[in-house]
Chain A
């Protein structure tokens, strides 16, 4: 079985400050890890993924995430938040070499960036 935990329902940051959206996972094997974002009235958009290699992955809109195997975490980060980053963020995990649609998602974290 695989699972994802996003411990914070809401994250609030001021524009220009760094942001972190937390994600921990559980999977019996090597994971694929993903972050998706949902802007208001839009679909889920892919942000970034970790498969193998460098633990720090860079994605769209200046976001990055760090894979930490010992802590089973994949926190999403951005050095300087923008108001336009305000959205709902989902972390997802699936086993390596499984189909793209077999991902398990977290409950989502609402990020609010205030000017």
Chain B
């Protein structure tokens, strides 16, 4: 069974440019989450999809970040325009519908804004 996959693994962009990160969750997982780790600090929750619906986006830092999950399968996270402080590792995770489980993480996308 394929795990959570993220693309690209690394991205270097200039300040002001746009970047789109993609996450393919484990097949059949209704729940999809985005997290990010900046400056070597803790992994922080960004938002949560249940199928195609945004369940919780309380962790999104500002309106430069837009997440979508059309059709309830893969998800994209767009940063537009990117700022220097957006640099970090963006993780995607998925979990099945039941609540007693752990989330399964992808390998992360390392974003560097220069």
A residues in contact (CB < 8 Å) with B: 4, 34, 36, 41-46, 49, 51, 90, 92, 97-108
Name A101's closest neighbour in chain B (CB-CB): B33
Category for how many chain B residues contact A: 20 to 34
Name which of B12-20, B79-87, B99-107 contacts chain A: B99-107
Instruction: List B residues at the A interface (Cβ < 8 Å).
Output: 3-4, 6, 9, 31, 33, 35, 37, 40-45, 48, 55-56, 91, 93, 95, 99-108
Q: How far is the CA of A49 from the CA of B56 in the complex (A)?
A: 24
Q: List 24 A-B contacts (CB under 8 A).
A: A36-B105, A41-B9, A43-B3, A43-B91, A43-B105, A43-B106, A45-B105, A46-B104, A51-B100, A99-B48, A99-B99, A100-B95, A100-B101, A100-B103, A101-B48, A103-B45, A103-B103, A104-B45, A105-B42, A105-B44, A106-B42, A107-B42, A108-B37, A108-B40
Q: Write the chain B residue with the least CB distance to A49.
A: B102
Name A90's closest neighbour in chain B (CB-CB). Answer: B43
Question: How far, in whole Å, are A99 and B106 apart by their CA atoms in the complex?
Answer: 18
* A100-B102 in contact (CB<8A): yes
B45 close to A4 (CB less than 8 A): no
Known: A44-B93, A100-B103, A108-B40. 4 other contacts (CB 8 A): A99-B99, A101-B31, A104-B42, A108-B42
